[in-house]
Amino acid sequence: MVFSSYLFLFYFLPITLLVYQFSPKNWKNGILLLSSIFFYAWGAPKFVFVILATTLVDFAIANKMAVTSNKVQRKLLLSLAIIINVGLLAYFKYVNFFIENVNQLFTYFGLQTFPFAQVILPIGISFYTFETLTFIIDVYRGTQKPLKNFWNYQLYIMFFPKLIAGPIIKYHQIADQIINRIDNPEQKMVGFYRFCIGLAKKVLIANAIGTVVNDIDSLSIDSITSSQFWLASICYTFQLYFDFSGYSDMAVGLGLMFNFRIPENFNMPYIATSITDFWRRWHISLGAWMKEYLYLPLGGNRVNSKLRLFFNLWLVFLISGLWHGASWNFVLWGIYHGFFLIIERAFLLKWYSKLPKLFSWAITFFIVLNGWVLFKTESMNDVVLTYSKMYQIDSGFQFYIPIEFRIPLYFAIFFSFIGLFGKFEKKIISFFNADTFSLSNHLGLIVISMLLLLLSCGALFSDSYNPFIYFRF
Amino acid sequence: MKKPFNKNKILNRLWFFLLFLGIISFAIQFTQFTIWPLRGYSKELNHVEFSWKSYFNGTYQIQKESYLTRYLKTAPIFARAYNEYFFRLFHKAKANNIYIGDDWVLNEYFYIESYLGNDLLDKNKVDSMVEKVKSTQLTISGLNKQFLYVVTPNKTEFFKDFFDETKHAVPSNNNYKQFIKAFNDKGIKYIDFNHYFNHTKFDYPVFTKGGIHWSQYAAALAADSIIKYIRHEIDSTIYPFESNNIEVKQAEKVDIDVWASMNLLIPNPYGNAAYPIWKNPPAEVPKKLNMLVISDSFFWQLYSSGFENWFQNLYFNYYNQLIYQKDQSKDKTMQNLKEMLDQCDIIIVMSTEAKIKDAGWGFFDDVKTIYQTSN
């Protein structure tokens, strides 16, 4: 089930909200948990048992760790939990990637190859695995006591607003909210506005721009011109942002509707003035997780040598890339970003500080845009072909986009870059972080939200209903 | 003293109002209400039955979601709002093939393409197709029956100044011209309503801006012409076509079918159209003739206006796939086609100028098969 579906919007969500609203306080977590299990079981009927079982195991391990003072035992328990969770992720997500590469090597040496494993990737496994690890590690570090109630822990993992596509919520960010939250009508209304904005970002902008990308991708790669590759890259850059950030907005909005404050995942990433800055704005929860649970344990900035620092950065981004998908292009994308982070640390940030902000922004955006080519293109041959054609400039720049895709693209560009100018960045941040608005602002926001919801629902319907005037054979 | 308003109380009420809307949208599914149903044709989806097997392999969820989306009762409101937004912002329709010209003149792309000759068939292909028509005409004449080809009009020529593609275009050749020439060369009996309605002045419009077909007024003129042809060529005793009077009212139904399939929010922007009131033959007048019409949707206007009242039996063979007679329909089979051919006195193939390249939809091959097999 996805948020941008009629099943979710008109069946699942209204019923869940209604039952939640009118249930006694001590039933609310149970209602949320049951609806989250239903949400997951709808989309992944076979894997709901996997997630239920692993949460039970992780809960047991964490509680055992909490009462164990023996350091060795605690380390063993931690290792066990990491092996189970990372092992499951590795198996489901990477086993065939591993087999594919081993087979290529074996084929080269004329050896017998292995058959591929019959695995299907459980939805959301990359996200909830990382969340499980935050729970285990926070308990190990002693920074957080484990939840005493297994069902509350289950809710932390399976809370449906963030279950499928994040944000990755660290256990300590939400632990208190699970036990104790106040019914705040203003928060719920803000959640509704946020949800509608996110839905519109995804449906009215990302889906529309995505059509241009799909149309170009459907052509034979040899026939795609230089202009078309650039157009596809530009459109993909904004499609990805509005799709992912739209989904995150919906997650944040849904959380607020149930009086949970879910951390932000995006902060106008395309106005970043360096790759370092970009990673503070893009998929913030992943960056924060990587920093707290990988980069800092490796030593962070406090290592003895610059080489070690660069290695740590590079390794973190290699793993970040691999986290996104079991394919070499993701690894390369991670390495690509790691490389720029390293050279920024080495000297580039100093250069940027001497340039007007617009220059460092333009360079950063250009780097990011080129990076998305790697992210999007699975085949290495196609990556090479794409870059070589992009920089051939065969027949001048000739962009043609039908108007129904051009206008959403303009909106996307406008909203992506508006923060570059004047005080818009601060205004936008304060708007999205605001807990309270004046009543007149609320009325305005309701009207805008209802309009966006109306149009988004219409767009979703029109994807499935495109009538002919008459029935014809 | 005025009570200071309680912001939280107001927001709480707003929140409950939103919940109420959500629940109403859900609950209305279980009632008989329909809200502003959408127009146009799209394939129906079947109700989905649950089974554990289909649930675990995911097919149940996919089909169920499609079904729930399509048949959500409040969906027409969302669809219309979005279609209106799409039209206003992009000047395009969210329906298949619709072309929006100036001043709300609507058309379909393939009608324009056909007028411009962009779908031109090879002359040899046209000749071989018309040869089949000729062969059918001869076969039917040999059975002492009458065959007639009726070419219904393409509104593109009439409204060509309203479409960017046709404003300055003078098509040198198209399928229609090729077929008419071939009809003349091979002695096919035909009525060309395309030329007639595009080049003659009438008291009322024969095309409507918002419809794809001829107007109801033109359909009545066509019915009159066909009856006159039958009186002249086949049976002079068939009751003449008459209409009592003409009702002039805002364009509706078929006359705005293209606009309707756009499923917008705004009301119909079209002015008046003429609706002749057909005067059916009196019941006591004997109806001797049986007629079979193989046609596209243009014949519906005659069929639904009561054209069958002039005949003992009128069979409407829609696209040579589905047979309509009175209120019933059945699939066309070779057997029932032969029965109708044997029974009928007049066989008419009717196609619009734009679909003339599909002439007969396999009917001529069917006739050849039936009568070759019989022989």
Q: ipTM for the complex?
A: 0.86
Q: Is the pLDDT of residue A470 over 80?
A: no
Using a CB-CB cut-off of 8 Å, the residues of chain B touching A1 are 61, 65
Using a CB-CB cut-off of 8 Å, the residues of chain A touching B361 are 473
CB contact under 8 A, A468 and B42: yes
Report angle CA B198, B201, B204 to the nearest 5 degrees.
100
| pLDDT-based confidence at residue A462 (cuts at 50, 70, 90) | confident
Tokens of A73: 């035992």
Instruction: Name the closest residue on chain A to residue B88, using Cα atoms.
Output: A404
User: What is the mean predicted confidence (pLDDT) over A35-57?
Assistant: 92
CB contact under 8 A, A455 and B22: no
Tokens of A381: 């041959």
What is the C-alpha to C-alpha distance for residues B28 and A198, in angstroms, rounded to an integer?
A: 26
What pLDDT, in 10s, does the model give residues A98-114?
888 889 888 888 888 88
Residue A458 has its nearest CB partner, among B82, B212, B261, at: B82
HSE-CB at B202 with a 13 A cutoff on CA atoms is 19
Instruction: Name the closest residue on chain A to residue B355, using Cα atoms.
Output: A472
Residue B41 has its nearest CB partner, among A404, A455, A467, at: A467
Residues B202 and B219 sit within 8 Å (Cβ to Cβ): no
For chain B, the maximum distance between any two Cα atoms, rounded to a whole number of angstroms, is 102
Q: Which residues pair with B151 in a beta bridge?
A: B192, B351
Residues B319 and A472 sit within 8 Å (Cβ to Cβ): yes
CB contact under 8 A, B58 and A45: yes
Tokens of B78: 């969302």
- For chain B, what is the mean pLDDT? 92
Q: How many Cβ pairs within 8 Å bridge chains A and B?
A: 153
Using a CB-CB cut-off of 8 Å, the residues of chain A touching B6 are none
Using a CB-CB cut-off of 8 Å, the residues of chain B touching A446 are 14
Mutation pick from B5, B10, B13, B19 vs chain A, by most beta carbons of A within 10 Å, is B19
Determine the number of helices (DSSP H) and then strands (DSSP E) in chain B: 15, 11
pLDDT value, residue A467: 65
Instruction: Name the closest residue on chain B to residue A120, using Cα atoms.
Output: B57
Of A192-206, B37-51, B100-114, B343-357, which range is least confident? B37-51
pLDDT value, residue A21: 94
Residue B19 has its nearest CB partner, among A21, A403, A467, at: A21
Residues A209 and A235 sit within 8 Å (Cβ to Cβ): yes
Residues B251 and B270 sit within 8 Å (Cβ to Cβ): yes
Contacts of A247 (CB under 8 A, 6+ apart): A3, A165, A198, A202
For B178-209, give the DSSP string.
HHHHHHHHHT--EEEHHHHHHSS--SS-SB-T
CB contact under 8 A, B94 and A185: no
Q: Is the pLDDT of residue B223 over 50?
A: yes
Instruction: Name the closest residue on chain A to residue B74, using Cα atoms.
Output: A10
What pLDDT, in 10s, does the model give residues B39-91?
887 778 888 899 999 999 889 999 999 898 888 999 999 999 999 999 998 88
Phi, psi at B100, each rounded to 5°: -105, 115
- Residues of A with catalytic roles: 324
Residues B370 and B338 sit within 8 Å (Cβ to Cβ): yes
Tokens of B214: 């001829």
pLDDT value, residue A237: 96
DSSP H helices, A201-225, are 207-217
Query: Is residue B108 helix, strand or coil?
Result: strand
What is the C-alpha to C-alpha distance for residues A452 and B269, in angstroms, rounded to an integer?
A: 26
CB contact under 8 A, A465 and B79: yes
Q: What stretch of H or E contains B69?
A: helix B59-70
What is the C-alpha to C-alpha distance for residues A252 and A7, in angstroms, rounded to an integer?
A: 20
Instruction: Name the closest residue on chain A to residue B7, using Cα atoms.
Output: A439
Using a CB-CB cut-off of 8 Å, the residues of chain A touching B304 are none
What pLDDT, in 10s, does the model give residues A175-202?
889 988 889 999 999 999 999 999 999 9
Query: Is residue B110 helix, strand or coil?
Result: helix
pLDDT value, residue A400: 77
**CA B205 to chain CA mean position, Å:** 18
CB contact under 8 A, B74 and A455: no
What pLDDT, in 10s, does the model give residues A142-155?
888 888 889 999 99
User: What type of residue sits at position B207?
Assistant: F
Mutation pick from B17, B21, B26, B55 vs chain A, by most beta carbons of A within 10 Å, is B26
| pLDDT-based confidence at residue B375 (cuts at 50, 70, 90) | very low
Residue A446 has its nearest CB partner, among B14, B38, B97, at: B14
Token pair 């939400």 is found at A174
Instruction: Name the closest residue on chain A to residue B263, using Cα atoms.
Output: A467
Using a CB-CB cut-off of 8 Å, the residues of chain B touching A14 are 19, 22-23, 25-26
Token pair 């000047």 is found at B91
Q: Is the pLDDT of residue B240 over 90?
A: yes
Instruction: Name the closest residue on chain B to residue A42, using Cα atoms.
Output: B61
Residue B79 has its nearest CB partner, among A1, A403, A461, at: A461
Instruction: Of B307, B134, B283, give the one whose Cα is nearest residue B221.
Output: B307
Report angle CA B81, B86, B91 to the nearest 5 degrees.
135
CB contact under 8 A, B12 and A185: yes
Tokens of A334: 């991670």
What is the C-alpha to C-alpha distance for residues B93 and B259, in angstroms, rounded to an integer?
A: 9
Residue A404 has its nearest CB partner, among B5, B69, B90, at: B90
Using a CB-CB cut-off of 8 Å, the residues of chain A touching B19 are 14, 17-18, 21
pLDDT value, residue A111: 86
pLDDT value, residue B374: 52
**CA A422 to chain CA mean position, Å:** 29
What pLDDT, in 10s, does the model give residues A54-97?
999 999 999 999 898 899 999 999 999 999 999 999 999 998 88
Residue A468 DSSP symbol:
B
CB contact under 8 A, A403 and B91: yes
Q: Which residues pair with B294 in a beta bridge?
A: B317, B349
What is the C-alpha to C-alpha distance for residues B118 and B124, in angstroms, rounded to an integer?
A: 17
For A275-333, give the DSSP string.
HHHHHHHSSHHHHHHHIIIIITTTTTT--S-HHHHHHHHHHHHHHHHHHH-SSHHHHHH
Contacts of A329 (CB under 8 A, 6+ apart): A374, A375, A376, A377, A378, A379, A380, A383
| Contact residues, chain A to chain B, C-beta under 8 Å | 1, 5-7, 10-11, 13-15, 17-18, 21, 42-43, 45-46, 185-186, 188-189, 192, 403-404, 407, 439, 442, 446, 454-455, 457-462, 464-473
CA distance, residue B56 to nearest chain A CA (Å):
6
